[in-house]
Amino acid sequence: MHGRHITRRGLMLTAGSALVSGAALAHADEVDAAPSNADEALERLKTGNARFARGESIHRHQSHEWRKRLTKGQNPFATILSCSDSRVPVELVFDQGFGDLFSVRIAGNIIAEDVVGSVQYAARHLHTRLFVVMGHESCGAVTAAVDALLGKLDEPEHIAALVRMITPGLTNLDRKKSRNALITAAVEANVLWSMRQLARMPEAQKHLREKRIALVGAVYDLDSGTVRFVETPPGLLDGK
Ligand SMILES: [Zn+2]
């Protein structure tokens, strides 16, 4: 894939000769085969994020021609559950375009009933093989959950209800840590908590066991723009 990037840059460098038209670039989009399994999908996300973090995004799959092709149907290669935070737009963070990612965004990347429904839709009808739960540094929803743990939450009913979806995943945190350190640890703990709840679904269990799908966790760093994929604790994917 890196090679394709170079190829495209190379093409653009020769654009002065007017040999490269918009149609040629659209064609480059079209020949870009979708990942065929979860490992390839994860690799595509990692290399896309590396491009983004270096400031070298290629913004593929955004041409008029590509969008027209997508009117016939979608074949996203990954499903990503992430936060609504305006600083974490998933397509930009992974340098992907139209039709690439099935994106479920909700404050705190929590597992609510309709979130499960969206993820289930992606599995059952779009057949995405890779599922990513992505939290991010300085998450407001997670910060509110930490404040709730510390007995300092002062939010109206619906925000409090959202926070109550996060706090069960934070029970093992060391509350003697500073508030900032707690928030950092809580972001990752909340990612694992959402993964655990997804993995417990009977349908997910079956597919995970048969290795037909992969479920991974990640944390986005606001400063560097990098996505760190977190280690999955033993047993989590077994639904324990
Ligand atoms: Zn957030």
Query: 49-73, pLDDT tens digit by residue?
Result: 999 999 999 999 999 999 999 999 9
CA 29 to chain centroid: 22
The verdict on 135 and 45 lying in the same domain is yes
Determine the distance separating the centroid of ligand 1 and the alpha carbon of 168, expressed in angstroms: 17
The verdict on 67 and 184 lying in the same domain is yes
pLDDT at res. 18 = 37
Phi and psi at 144, nearest 5°, equal -65, -35
The verdict on 69 and 129 lying in the same domain is yes
What strand order describes the sheet that includes 130-136?
101-105, 78-82, 130-136, 214-220, 227-230
Q: Which domain holds residue 11?
A: 1-32
Least confident of 19-23, 90-94, 130-134: 19-23
Distances (CA, A) of 227 to 95, 106, 192: 12, 18, 15
Which of 10 and 26 is assigned the larger pLDDT?
26
The verdict on 121 and 183 lying in the same domain is yes
**Residue 33 pLDDT class (50, 70, 90 cuts):** confident
The verdict on 5 and 72 lying in the same domain is no
The verdict on 14 and 46 lying in the same domain is no
The verdict on 28 and 134 lying in the same domain is no
Total tally of structural domains belonging to the chain? 2
End-to-end CA distance of the chain: 36
The verdict on 153 and 44 lying in the same domain is yes
Determine the distance separating the centroid of ligand 1 and the alpha carbon of 187, expressed in angstroms: 9
Return d(Cα 153, Cα 63) in angstroms, integer: 46
Determine the distance separating the centroid of ligand 1 and the alpha carbon of 216, expressed in angstroms: 18
The verdict on 22 and 118 lying in the same domain is no
Helix (H, G, I), strand (E, B) or coil at 63: coil
Determine the distance separating the centroid of ligand 1 and the alpha carbon of 141, expressed in angstroms: 6
The verdict on 25 and 76 lying in the same domain is no
pLDDT at res. 9 = 40
Give a three-class secondary structure readout of 1-18: CHHHHHHHHHHHHHHHHC
The verdict on 103 and 9 lying in the same domain is no
Determine the distance separating the centroid of ligand 1 and the alpha carbon of 127, expressed in angstroms: 27
**Residue 20 pLDDT class (50, 70, 90 cuts):** very low
pLDDT at res. 19 = 40
The tens digit of pLDDT for each residue in 145-200 reads: 999 999 999 999 999 999 999 999 999 999 999 999 999 999 999 999 999 999 99
- Percent of the chain past pLDDT 70, that is, above it, reads 87
Determine the distance separating the centroid of ligand 1 and the alpha carbon of 192, expressed in angstroms: 15
The verdict on 132 and 26 lying in the same domain is no
CA nearest neighbour of 65 among 94, 97, 93, 39: 97
What average pLDDT score do residues 97-112 get? 97
Which of 160 and 34 is assigned the larger pLDDT?
160
Determine the distance separating the centroid of ligand 1 and the alpha carbon of 200, expressed in angstroms: 23
pLDDT at res. 32 = 67
